[in-house]
Amino acid sequence: MSALLGQAQKALEAGDWSTVKASFEAALEQQESAEALAGLGNVLWWLGQTDASVRCLEHAYAAFRRRPEPDQAALAAIYLCLLYRASLGNFAASRGWLGRAARLVDEFELVPLRGWVLLCRSVACNDEDDPVAGERWAREACQVARESADGDLELCALSELGAALVAMGSVEAGVALLDEAMAGSVGGETQSLDTVVLTSCNTVISCSRAGDFKRANQWIRAADEFNQRYGSSAGMSAIYVAVPDADAAYERAKAAGAQVTELVDRDYGSREFTATDPDGNRWSLGTYRGPANGG
């Protein structure tokens, strides 16, 4: 099994997701292990199989708890918190997994993961239109990251802090932090591919909400090598962004020179419009956040 897991790791570094998937599946056929379940869950997300990814990570969490390995269980819970929120729009499940991760970190004094729990709290607040709290949690996460020399956490926390500042209207200060986080991410500072995904998503969403489509496109192009190698969806030509105020976003898009359609109210409760930027990329912006946001 160790040879198969090593093969999967090498394929992961090369962005060869089909080989990674086959290696983890072969390892699981020999013997079910928490590591193989967690690895398969990760690669399934990259392949766009979100539901299957979640099931694997949940099984991995349970397996880590049985050993017990609370640090690995807490890490799986953190991944599930972010997956349920970002990929499935299920805020209730996301909050539940955040609570589980926080309890494990506190109970077992998992100091290295404390900053990641703080980051998840910031993500949750920013997603749920509470950027003031999002800023507070992000600043705490930044402090922990610097104290623990966790580069991935620092870049993610800077990105969340930037997103919170943009949402509060401090656009210049916010985009400066988003730019810094992106530079570190695509410049090779990270140890985790997920850091590039999180910082890219924050940058694209925050810049589009601020009407700065040019900056968003510049970073999408800067991340082209990463997107081509790993197949990230951050460089898609058609992007949907949930916004709290569609009318304000509409005015910002017009002021930025985008070609915009008229605002429409959809029967599923969204107020939205489409903007085409000068580079021809199409952006859909609306108030709809998904069918299962957990209230």
CATH, domain range 240-295: 3.30.720.110
Per-residue pLDDT at 237 exceeds 50: no
More confident residue, 29 or 211: 29
Where along the chain do its domains lie? Answer: 1-85, 110-236, 240-295
pLDDT of residue 3: 60
Does the 1-85 domain belong in CATH 3.10.129.10?
Answer: no
- Same fold flag, 1-85 and 110-236: yes
Per-residue pLDDT at 258 exceeds 90: no
pLDDT of residue 113: 97
Per-residue pLDDT at 235 exceeds 60: no
CATH number for 110-236 (one of 3.30.430.20, 4.10.95.10, 1.25.40.10, 3.20.20.140): it is: 1.25.40.10
pLDDT of residue 292: 41
Q: Quick check: bond before 68 cis, omega within 30?
A: yes
pLDDT of residue 213: 80
pLDDT of residue 268: 72
**Phi, psi at residue 19, to the nearest 5°?**
-70, -40
Virtual CA dihedral for 283, 286, 291, 295, nearest 10 degrees? 140
- Residue 286 class from Cβ within 10 Å (0-12 exposed, 13-18 middle, 19+ buried)? buried
> How does pLDDT run across 115-136, given as a tens digit for each residue?
999 999 999 999 888 999 999 9
> How does pLDDT run across 190-212, given as a tens digit for each residue?
988 899 999 998 998 898 878 88
Percent of the chain with pLDDT over 90: 52
* Residue whose entry in the numeric block shows the structure tokens 């997701």: 17
> How does pLDDT run across 204-234, given as a tens digit for each residue?
889 887 888 888 888 888 887 887 777 654 4
Euclidean distance between the first and the last CA atom of the chain, given in angstroms as a whole number = 43
Q: Side chain identity at 56, as an amino acid letter?
A: C
Per-residue pLDDT at 149 exceeds 60: yes
pLDDT of residue 141: 98
Q: How far apart are CA 216 and CA 200, in angstroms?
A: 9
252 secondary structure, DSSP code: H
> How does pLDDT run across 44-74, given as a tens digit for each residue?
998 889 999 999 999 999 999 999 999 999 9
